[in-house]
């Protein structure tokens, strides 16, 4: 059991009413009924978890369905119409919001179509003048895509005049026909942002009316997988080069520190993507009003972790909820009640072992400096090994890239065998370097292996054709 000590009274004979008022002022006591804002994310599943008998909470969805003054997510929270909500790190910062639990990361998947001109779309900048489906106005996809454009100096103002509008129809699983408009704003110097219902945008993409379809999701998102089923479609990467891919993500993170980046490995969505893809995304957070009582915030946080297995059964993206996370990466600071849960044993431990810890720090200070120097030297050495492997790889593929006269499919069998043997030898060197610890099996190493296997597969395929 956790208790909160808000203050200390030297007069034990104070009236009980005064003590109760003091504790209430510290935020420990409060109603166990909480209102959860409607909106994006697994709202219903989290409400079902918090409503379990053992939590001691009563959870209501807010505002009431059909209410004239409707709101969702953070809007409900800041207007005082809800106590809890699911927010995202790409949202605007708000003063009266506090984090309870980081839930999961989700990423902006940009799927490029297969018409005669989309082959020129190779990165974000090359989307100028192209129609991009970015979800409903105000949605997470719409917000994050506009943040990405802003980073590249391609800002599309929300109030720009309408330049395209078209209705698209589809048939539901129940056999009902539905129709919804898609509206586009932008110019030739920026991507043209098209908004509407996700289903309408996907239909527009499938018909070739949209050049790019953007969707914020996880590797479990069925919508992304369905869009990739469109013949010739592909996932757009922040950059094709693995080194520049990571650099691009770091650059975006520098200007938008609350966003997250990732390199998707091959075949996340069945056989897609064919090569690693760099994506940018944001973190979904369970948040609360800053003035929510510490007692209730503590109960909510405890309930999620005690019953999180029920969440992960329904939503795979929630299976990695953890108490270990970087607090500096949160767009909203931790709520005092949540922090009490995370630090439930820490204060007593620190007070008990403060002198021993201080002595340990004094003894380890000199040793730590030496270890850090050794670690930095080993890291530099491992990076140099991976750099040499990359250089040798580029020398091999430079024998048949677009800068040379003889394409790969026009080379002789002898030349192809030579290239094949060199790629096999390079793969052996990379494996031995990782096995011996000369280089790290890092994200860059995984990307290098993917590129190497892709080229090796291409050469082997051509050799098989020539030997028939």
The verdict on pTM exceeding 0.85 is no
Does residue 110 share a domain with residue 86?
Answer: no
In a domain, 361, yes or no: no
Does residue 215 share a domain with residue 152?
Answer: yes
H-state helical runs in 231-345? 242-255, 294-306, 308-314, 336-342
pLDDT at 21: 43
pLDDT at 277: 87
Secondary structure of residue 264 in the 3-state scheme: strand
pLDDT at 303: 92
Residue 152 has pLDDT above 80, yes or no: yes
* Residue 273 burial (CB count, 10 A): 19
- Cβ neighbourhood burial of 128 (10 Å; 0-12, 13-18, 19+): middle
Does residue 164 share a domain with residue 29?
Answer: no
Residue 461 has pLDDT above 90, yes or no: no
pLDDT at 168: 97
Residue 94 has pLDDT above 80, yes or no: no
* Residue 81 burial (CB count, 10 A): 17
Residue 292 has pLDDT above 90, yes or no: yes
Rounded to the nearest 10 degrees, the angle between the axes of helix 413-435 and helix 346-397 is 160
- Cβ neighbourhood burial of 247 (10 Å; 0-12, 13-18, 19+): middle
Euclidean distance between CA atoms 5 and 22, whole angstroms:
11
pLDDT at 17: 43
Mean pLDDT, the chain, rounded, equals: 80
Which residue segment(s) compose the domain that 145 sits in? 104-283
326-335: per-residue pLDDT in tens?
888 888 999 9
Does residue 322 share a domain with residue 269?
Answer: no
CA angle (139 as vertex; 182, 152 as ends), nearest 5: 90
In a domain, 355, yes or no: no
Secondary structure of residue 177 in the 3-state scheme: strand
Instruction: Give how many domains the chain has, as a whole number.
Output: 3
Does residue 261 share a domain with residue 165?
Answer: yes
Work out whether the CA dihedral 148, 153, 157, 162 comes out positive or negative: negative
C-alpha dist (Å) from residue 56 to 60, 299, 308, 310, 311: 14, 8, 16, 17, 18
Averaged pLDDT for residues 266-272: 83
Secondary structure of residue 239 in the 3-state scheme: coil
Does residue 123 share a domain with residue 192?
Answer: yes
Residue 205 has pLDDT above 60, yes or no: yes
CA angle (174 as vertex; 171, 180 as ends), nearest 5: 35
Euclidean distance between CA atoms 245 and 145, whole angstroms:
18
Does residue 388 share a domain with residue 293?
Answer: no
Secondary structure of residue 112 in the 3-state scheme: strand
CATH for 52: 3.40.190.10
pLDDT at 198: 93
Does residue 270 share a domain with residue 164?
Answer: yes
Does residue 127 share a domain with residue 86?
Answer: no
CA angle (203 as vertex; 198, 209 as ends), nearest 5: 110
pLDDT at 263: 84
Residue 49 near residue 26, CB atoms below 8 Å: no
403-441: per-residue pLDDT in tens?
555 677 777 888 888 888 888 888 888 878 777 777 777
Averaged pLDDT for residues 61-67: 70
């Amino acid at each position: 059991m956790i208790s909160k000590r808000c203050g200390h009274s030297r007069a034990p004979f104070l009236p009980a009413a005064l003590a109760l008022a003091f504790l209430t002022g510290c935020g420990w006591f409060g109603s166990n009924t909480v209102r959860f804002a409607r909106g994006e994310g697994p709202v219903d599943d989290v409400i079902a978890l918090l409503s379990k008998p053992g939590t001691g909470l009563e959870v209501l969805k807010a505002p009431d369905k059909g209410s004239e003054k409707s709101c969702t997510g953070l809007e409900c929270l800041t207007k005082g119409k809800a106590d809890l909500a699911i927010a995202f790190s790409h949202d605007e910062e708000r003063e009266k919001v506090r984090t309870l639990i980081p839930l999961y990361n989700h990423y902006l998947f940009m799927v490029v179509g297969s018409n005669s001109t989309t082959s020129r779309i190779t990165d974000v900048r090359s989307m100028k003048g192209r129609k991009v489906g970015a979800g409903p106005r105000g949605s997470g996809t719409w917000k994050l895509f506009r943040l990405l454009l802003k980073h590249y100096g391609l800002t599309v103002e929300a109030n720009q005049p309408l330049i395209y509008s078209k209705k698209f129809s589809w048939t539901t699983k129940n056999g009902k026909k539905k129709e919804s408009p898609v509206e586009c704003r932008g110019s030739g110097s920026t991507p043209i942002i098209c908004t509407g219902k996700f289903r309408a945008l996907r239909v527009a993409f499938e018909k070739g009316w949209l050049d790019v379809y953007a969707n914020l999701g996880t590797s479990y998102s069925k919508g992304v997988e369905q869009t990739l089923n469109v013949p010739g479609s592909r996932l757009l990467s922040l950059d094709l080069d693995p080194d520049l891919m990571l650099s691009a993500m770091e650059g975006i993170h520098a200007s938008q520190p609350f966003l997250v980046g990732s390199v998707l490995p091959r075949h996340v969505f069945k056989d897609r993507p064919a090569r690693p893809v760099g994506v940018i995304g944001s973190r979904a957070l369970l948040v609360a009003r800053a003035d929510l009582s510490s007692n209730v915030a503590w109960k909510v946080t405890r309930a999620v972790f005690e019953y999180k297995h029920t969440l992960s059964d329904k939503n795979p993206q929630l299976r990695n909820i953890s108490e270990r996370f970087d607090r500096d990466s949160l767009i909203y600071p931790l709520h005092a009640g949540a922090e009490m849960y995370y630090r439930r044993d820490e204060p007593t431990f620190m007070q008990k072992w403060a002198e021993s810890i201080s002595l340990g720090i004094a003894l380890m200070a000199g040793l730590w400096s030496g270890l850090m120097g050794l670690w930095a030297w080993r890291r530099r050495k491992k990076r140099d090994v991976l750099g040499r492997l990359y250089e040798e790889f580029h020398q091999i593929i430079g024998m048949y890239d677009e800068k040379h006269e003889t394409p790969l499919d026009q080379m002789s069998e002898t030349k192809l065998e030579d290239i094949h043997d060199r790629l096999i030898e390079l793969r052996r060197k990379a494996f031995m370097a990782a096995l011996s610890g000369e280089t790290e099996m890092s994200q860059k190493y995984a990307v290098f292996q993917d590129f190497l296997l892709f080229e090796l597969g291409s050469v082997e395929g051509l050799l098989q054709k020539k030997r028939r």
